[in-house]
Structure 1
C-alpha cells in the first residue's frame, strides 16, 4: 500500500510522496496573472496551508518541486521573489502578550531566513514594514507576503468578547502595513477560516480581492469527484463510492462540490466511516450560541439567507448562521438571484459526517450521562427498524428526564415546541435517518417527517400549556399531511407528541397508522 500524505502542510514534503498529489498549481498561475491582493476563507483542515506553501515554493523559484505538474511549463522560473510567510496556525494565543511574542517570533524567523540581523523600528508594525522594504532593496525584486490562519488568534478567544476585540485591533494594526507597503509588494495572499469585514481587519486595503465565493476558485481547496476517482483510483477498489460521497462530499462555494482532503485520506488509511474532520475541533462556542438564542435546530436543515449574512461577521455581532457556514458545518446548496445584485442562498449540511456529528454533539451538551445517551441511539435505531413506537416513546421520555433541572434554570426552553422538536431531530439526525423538517404540503408544513426503508413517520409537536390535549393528533388529521406520501408505497404513521411545560417531558405520545 502506498503511503498517504495525511496531515502534510508542506509542499516540499508532499512532493516527496507524489503518488497521491492532487495538482492545484493551475490556480497559482491564474491568481498571479489576474491580480495582486487575494483573500480566501475555507474551513479548518481543508488544505489552505498546503496551498499557501505551494505559492511560497513557486515564488521562490523551486522548479524541482513542480515536475510533472501544471506549473512546471507555465511559470517564469528565471525570476525568484523574497517571500514573507506569516502563520498563526501553531498554538493558542490567550493574551495580548502572547500575541505580541508570536508576532515577534514570526518576524524574527523571516529575518533569519534572509540574513537580516536586526530591525530598527521599536514597534511590530514598523518592523513588518521595515522587513518588507529591506527585502525589496536587498533582492531587487518586490516582496510576496503570504498570511495563513490570519484569524486564528481571534477565533481562539471568540468566547471572551473583550479580549477578542483587543486582539482584532492588534492584528488590524499589523495588517495595515500591507496598504502602506504597496510599492514594495508583488503578491499578497491571506487565508483563514472566517471572513471578518474589511473595515474591522483590512481597513484601507480596498483592492483586496475576495475569492471565497468565486465559482472559478471553488475547487482550489478540496478534492473534486473526478480528482478523487483519478488520483486515488487504486484506493477506491472494492469500496462503495456512493457511500463515500454521501459521507464526505458536499462542500460548495457556488461551484463544483468537493471533499475535505483530511477526511478522505484518513478514510483510505483506516477503511472505516468515521467523523475524522469533525473530531479535530470542538464547536462548544457554536453550541452555546445555538442554545442562548433558542435556535430551532431543525431549521438548520433549510436556511435561506441573504448575502449579508454569509458575507462576513465581526466579534461584536456574530450571527449563528454565518458562523455555521464559515466554519464548515453548513455549505451552499443553491443560490438564487431574483434581482440584479440581490442573492439568496440556501444552506444545508454538506454531508452525513457533519449532520450526524453536529447533532450528536448538541445532544452531548444537554446530558450528563453521555454513555447512556449513546446506548439510547442504538435502541432508537432498533425501535424505528421494528416499528416499536412504545419503545420510541420510552427512549425519549428517559432522555428528557435525564436533562438536569439546573440546565433549565439558565433558559426558558421548556415552553418552546421548537426545543422539543429539536431534541427529536438531533437524535434522528445523529442516528443517520433521512429526515425532513418543515416539510411543505398544500395544507401546511409538517414539523418533522422521518423515512426508513418502507415506513414514513410524520411528527407533530405541541406543548400542552400552549395548545391543549389532543391538539397534535387533531392537526395531523385536519391538515392531511399524509396525503403527500400516500403514493410512495410506504407505511405511513402519524405520531403526535405532546409535552408538559411543567414536567418538562412527554405527556402524550399517540401513534396511528394511516390505512
Structure 2
C-alpha cells in the first residue's frame, strides 16, 4: 500500500518514495499550454508548493517521474528549461530583513544553476534581472520562474502599516523587472495565500493572469471527493465517509468542492476527528485585524459579494471578507447570476472543522479564554433542553467579557452567537420573519428550535419586554414545522452589564 504524503511538497520525493500522488497534471498541462504569466492564491497547506515542484521537474525533463500520469504522453520531453525558484517562506520580524531574504534566495539560485557568483547589487530588482538573464544565456534557453509564498513577508509585518509598506515597496521593485524580460522568460507562476491589488505589488505586469477563481482551474489544488475515494480507497475502509465530508470537505474555488489535503491526510493516518489544519498554525494576523477593526462577523455570511471584493485587499484597505476567503476561513457557498448583471457570491464556513475552530478563536479574543468547556456545556444544555443550564452558561459567559465591549443588544447577541455557533448548531442572527427580526434563532437537530430576543434595560421595571416582543410579533410561526419551540427572553442591566431576567415559554410545533 502506498504511503500517505503528509507534509511532502517535493514531487520527486513523493514519486520515488512510494507516496500517493493525486494526478493534477491535466490542469498543469492545460495551464502551461495556454498561459505564460500566472498568479494563484490558495489557503495554506493546500498543495501550492507541490504544484510548483511538479512544474519544476516537468521543465527539467525528468520523464521517469511522470510515468502513467496524464501528462506523460502529451509533454515534449525533448525540450528542457532552467528553473529559478524563489521561496519567501522564511519568517521576518522587521521590514529591514526583506533585503537579506531576497539576497539569500538569489544566491541559492546562482549556486544551484552553477553560473558562478552573483553580482553585487543593492537594487533587488536588478538582482532578479541579472539572475534571469545570466541563467538564460548560460543554458541558451528561456527561463521558468516559480515564486512561492510571495505575500508572506508583507503578512509577517502587516500589523505595522509603515513596516508593511516598506516591505511592499521592496517587493514591488523586485517583481517590476519581470515586465521587461519577456524574451528571457518561458513561464512564471506566483503563488501565495492572499491577493494584494495588482497595481500595488505587480505594477506594470499587466500580463499576469489570475486563475484563483477560474473555473477550469478550481480543482488544481486540494482533493475532490472523487479523487479522495479513488486514490485513498485502501485508507477509507471502515471510515464514515459522511463524517469526513462534514468535517473536512467544502472549499469552493468555482470548481468542485475540495478537501484541504493536510487535514484529510492526517485524519486518514490517525482515524480520529480533530482540527488538524487549525491546530498546526493559525493565521494569527487575521484575528489581530478582526480585533482591531471590530468587524461584524455574524453578518459576513448574510451578504453577497463580487469576485473583485473576494480577490484582493491592500495594506491601506483590508477587506475582512477577502482576507477570510483567501485564508480559507470562508468559502463560496453559492453563486448568483442575474441577466446582464455581475455574478455575486455568498460565503460560509467550508466545513465543521473551520466553523468550530474559528468561533472558538473569536471567543478567545472577546473574553481572553478559549471557552472550550463552556461551549461543550452549552451544547449539551441546548440538546437536553435544560433551560436553567443555558441560563447559567450565558450568565457566566457574559461575565467574562469586558464591560467596554458590551454596549448594546447586538453585541450581546453577537457574543452569544459566537459561543453557540461553535457548537455546530444552525444559528441565525437577525433572523427575518414577516413581522420583524428575531435576534437569535438556534435550531437543534431540526426538531427543537430556540427563538431568543435580547434586551438591554435601563431599569428593572422594564423586565419582560423581550419575551413579550417574541409573542406579540408571533416569531414562532416561522418554525411551526418543528416539534418544539422555545420562546426565550433574555435581558441585561445596561449599567451593571449582567443578566437580570431570563424567562421562556414552550410552544408545540408541527402546525399547532
TM-score above 0.5: yes
Matched, 1:437 2:429: yes
Which of 485, 490, 496 is the aligned partner of 1:492? 485
Matches for 1:63-462 after TM superposition, within 5 Å: 63-89=63-89, 91-120=90-119, 122-123=121-122, 124-338=124-338, 340=340, 342-370=342-370, 373-405=371-403, 408=404, 413-453=405-445, 454-462=447-455
State the secondary structure of the residue aligned to 1:92.
coil
- Given that residues 5 and 17 in structure 1 are in contact (C-alpha distance below 8 angstroms), is that contact kept between their aligned partners in structure 2? no
Q: What's the offset of the Cα at 1:121?
A: 5.1
Instruction: Give the unaligned 5+ runs of structure 1.
Output: none
Q: Aligned partners of 1:2 and 1:428: how far apart in 2?
A: 41
Q: Aligned partners of 1:451 and 1:173: how far apart in 2?
A: 53
State the secondary structure of the residue aligned to 1:244.
helix
- Superposition RMSD in Å: 1.9
Which of 469, 478, 500 is the aligned partner of 1:475? 469
Partner of 1:502: 495
State the secondary structure of the residue aligned to 1:70.
coil
State the secondary structure of the residue aligned to 1:195.
coil
Cα deviation digits, residues 92-151 of structure 1 (max 9, x gap): 112233211111111111111111112335233212111111111121210110011000
- Given that residues 296 and 418 in structure 1 are in contact (C-alpha distance below 8 angstroms), is that contact kept between their aligned partners in structure 2? no
Q: Aligned partners of 1:442 and 1:404: how far apart in 2?
A: 35
State the secondary structure of the residue aligned to 1:435.
strand
Matches for 1:13-28 after TM superposition, within 5 Å: 13-28=13-28
Could you say if the C-alpha distance between residues 332 and 22 of structure 1 is closer, same or farther in structure 2, counting changes exceeding 3 Å? same
Q: What's the offset of the Cα at 1:268?
A: 0.6
Cα deviation digits, residues 328-367 of structure 1 (max 9, x gap): 1000111223353623210111111111000001112233
Q: How many residues align?
A: 505
Q: What's the offset of the Cα at 1:211?
A: 0.3
Q: Aligned partners of 1:86 and 1:283: how far apart in 2?
A: 22
State the secondary structure of the residue aligned to 1:492.
strand
Q: What's the offset of the Cα at 1:201?
A: 0.6
Q: What's the offset of the Cα at 1:2?
A: 4.7
Instruction: Give the unaligned 5+ runs of structure 2.
Output: none
Q: What's the offset of the Cα at 1:500?
A: 2.2
Q: Aligned partners of 1:94 and 1:132: how far apart in 2?
A: 29
TM-score, normalising length from structure 1? 0.94
- Given that residues 363 and 369 in structure 2 are in contact (C-alpha distance below 8 angstroms), is that contact kept between their aligned partners in structure 1? no
Q: Aligned partners of 1:367 and 1:477: how far apart in 2?
A: 32
